[in-house]
A and B are shown apart, each in its own frame.
Chain A
């Protein structure tokens, strides 16, 4: 009862949890083979936000990641670049310089990532710093504590303020669905983020388990679809964390196609936040080309 009342504040529909799980499972039963698989794997690569968000990140690590973003596996011809490199704000300048001329975007987490527990001033300063260093995209976290306290307007205002601070940069709003507790709340948070002006909604920071799952992503995709049908405006989607296998990534693409349509099958509107997915995709592509199953130690780690 309580959930349906809170959902009504932002007129979010109630979510049929069993139905969503069933529906999400269906997407894993499609058979994608040969040419379609090759195309799909290439598309997955072009949608990856290659990510390093560790306390132990160094300049060397970021440089290496930027190099990898431009040279995924040079022994395979015709591979696309990844969509973006995702780093902490203090590495944005370095990443920007390392990726100059490549067309690869630099995404930066901000707003006291990953907890989001700080004052609005500090969060905005965090965003401004990343933007002034040249970040093309800002990945913010919502205040989950306030959200659970029922302060939906606070959450909304905060996203709107961050969006204003982003200027030209695109804003991805991380809901951290692993901390939201139910699919109803995921839907509500998605609706709030979209209404507040997020260009992308994103599942997770990658620091909390469970991170991205197919049912959670489906609920968020449906929020995007409903918003599009109401307003004609597109919002992007980024599942992040826990997608490390090529096969799973293809299942996600099928889910996007069957929920939102072909327009979203583009790095502008759909991304994977992942660090180890790229290598698994490369191993699959290599397998398709050579016919032999691959081993991880023939591929660069970062």
Chain B
């Protein structure tokens, strides 16, 4: 009897009386959701309303994330391409299940409802697209090379290692997914700096990753200011490549100069991610190195090897 009374009184008092439980937007490092070690926060503002308190990552957060990405890299790249495909597909499944939450969040970050919904579904499709490529890009980009000696000479792709990814500023979910997916498809691990002005989708996407069989450390997501962190990630000797989405040229020059210290590859994209051509296997190739192997073979006939 008592319970019924309580329920009824809740109904009567109306929804508005309930205190909303606000979400703490934390970062995602090594499969965990820590706050920044610096204990600093910032409040991104969209349409004159604050999105909440978001972690302001520090130099040491970058360091911790790179350590996590490095230690996850060998294990992730040793997994079979088939298994990586399964996991990318799983991310898409989990995203699908939470699509309403993601589109609501995109609306909070300033998108209109229609665009938000289409970007969520495009993000899901993009994950499926790269899941499909995991065990196929190698066949497309690898080669058997004709050589003049009795060697079997072939070139195959290997992941570069740890990729620092500066996610799209204006396309908080689709831009993010469109870079993470091709980077990890080949066995790289990554540290992602989320959009400074719209970081919410990145943090929520981390929750999807955490429940999608993605091994800890494969994707690490930081929130903060690129101006503060640019030197630390681009000079970091344990970062092998940098992927940037739509930065202004001054910043790109600075990043490239810092990156020259250990000749990191820096890839800059100015893409409309909702365009279908923005999804292509060349993005996977961008974060792979070509390894060429000379394998001695026996001369099996007068006409030479048939390779």
Q: Do A and B bind each other?
A: yes
Interface residues of A (CB under 8 A from B): 291-296, 298
Residues from 43 to 96 in B contacting A, C-beta threshold 8 Å = 63, 66, 70
Cβ contact within 8 Å between A294 and B235: no
- Residue B135 CB within 8 A of the other chain: no
Check if B235 sits within 8 Å of A298, measured CB to CB: no
In the assembled complex, B236 has its CB within 8 A of some CB on chain A: yes
- Cross-chain contact A296 with B238 (CB below 8 angstroms): yes
Instruction: Tell me if B143 counts as interface (CB < 8 A to partner A).
Output: no
B261 interfacial contact with A, CB 8 Å: yes
Report how many A-B pairs have Cβ atoms within 8 Å. 22
Find the B residue at minimum CB distance from A298. B237
- The chain B residues found within 8 Å of chain A, CB to CB, are 63, 66, 70, 232, 235-238, 261-262
> Whole-angstrom distance from the CB of B230 to the nearest CB of chain A?
13
Are B63 and A293 in touch, CB under 8 angstroms?
yes
CB distance from B72 to the nearest CB of A (A): 14
Q: Which of A292, A293, A294, A295 has the most CB of B within 10 A?
A: A293
Task: Show 22 residue pairs from A and B whose CB-CB distance is below 8 angstroms, ordered by the A residue.
Answer: A291-B235, A292-B235, A292-B236, A292-B237, A292-B261, A293-B63, A293-B66, A293-B232, A293-B235, A293-B236, A293-B237, A293-B238, A294-B237, A294-B238, A295-B70, A295-B236, A295-B237, A295-B238, A295-B262, A296-B70, A296-B238, A298-B237
Q: How far is the CA of A9 from the CA of B70 in the complex (A)?
A: 51
* Nearest residue, chain A, Cβ from B236: A293
Task: Determine the distance from Cα of A296 to Cα of B236 in the docked complex, in whole angstroms.
Answer: 12
Q: Distance in Å from the Cβ of B41 to the closest Cβ of chain A? A: 22
**Nearest 7 CB-CB pairings of A with B:** A295-B238, A292-B235, A295-B237, A293-B236, A294-B237, A293-B63, A292-B237
Whole-angstrom CA separation of A291 from B231 in the bound complex: 10
Tell me which residues across on chain B come within 8 A of A292, comparing CB atoms: 235-237, 261
User: What residues on A are CB-neighbors of B238 within 8 Å?
Assistant: 293-296
Most buried by A among B66, B232, B237, B261: B237
**How far does the alpha carbon of A294 sit from the alpha carbon of B66 in the complex, in Å?**
11
> What is the bound-complex CA distance between A294 and B236, given in angstroms?
6
Min CB–CB distance A247 → chain B (angstroms): 11
Please, which residues of chain B bring their CB within 8 A of the CB of A298? 237
A218 to B237 alpha-carbon distance, docked (Å): 36
- List chain B residues, Cβ under 8 A from A293: 63, 66, 232, 235-238
Considering residues B66, B235, B238, which has the most beta carbons from chain A within 10 angstroms of its beta carbon? B238
Chain A neighbourhood of B66, CB < 8 A: 293
Give the residue name and chain of the A residue nearest to B162 (CB). Answer: A295
CB distance from A28 to the nearest CB of B (A): 14
Docked CA distance A54–B126 (Å):
48
A294 to B232, CA, bound (A): 11
A141 to B236, CA, bound (A): 43
Contacts of B235 in A (CB 8 A): 291-293
- Chain B residues closer than 8 Å to A296, beta-carbon distance: 70, 238
Complex: chain A residue closest to B234, CB-CB: A292
Q: Which of A294, A295, A298 has the most CB of B within 10 A?
A: A295
Residue numbers in B under 8 Å from A294 (CB-CB): 237-238
Q: Which chain A residue has the least Cβ–Cβ distance from B66?
A: A293
A residues within 8 A CB of B70? 295-296
List of A residues within 8 angstroms of B262 by Cβ: 295
In the bound complex, how far is the Cα of B120 from the Cα of A211, in angstroms? 49
**B residues in contact with A291, CB < 8 Å:** 235
Q: How far is the CA of A236 from the CA of B295 in the complex (A)?
A: 56
Report the minimum CB–CB distance from A22 to chain B (whole Å).
23
CB distance from A109 to the nearest CB of B (A): 30
For the complex, what is the distance from the CA of A291 to the CA of B232, rounded to whole Å?
9
Assembled-state Cα–Cα distance A293/B237 (Å): 6
Q: With the chains together, A296 CA to B237 CA distance in Å?
A: 9
Complex: A292 Cα to B261 Cα, angstroms: 9
Which chain A residue lies CB-closest to B67? A293
Known: A291-B235, A293-B232, A293-B238. 19 other contacts (CB 8 A): A292-B235, A292-B236, A292-B237, A292-B261, A293-B63, A293-B66, A293-B235, A293-B236, A293-B237, A294-B237, A294-B238, A295-B70, A295-B236, A295-B237, A295-B238, A295-B262, A296-B70, A296-B238, A298-B237
Q: How far is the CB of B262 from chain A (nearest CB, A)?
A: 8
Residues in A whose Cβ lies below 8 Å from that of B232: 293
Distance in angstroms from A302 CB to nearest chain B CB is 19
A293–B70 CA distance with the chains assembled, in angstroms? 13
Q: Which residues of A contact B261 (CB under 8 A)?
A: 292
Q: How far in angstroms is the closest Cβ of chain A from B58?
A: 13
A296 to B235 CA separation, bound complex (whole angstroms): 15
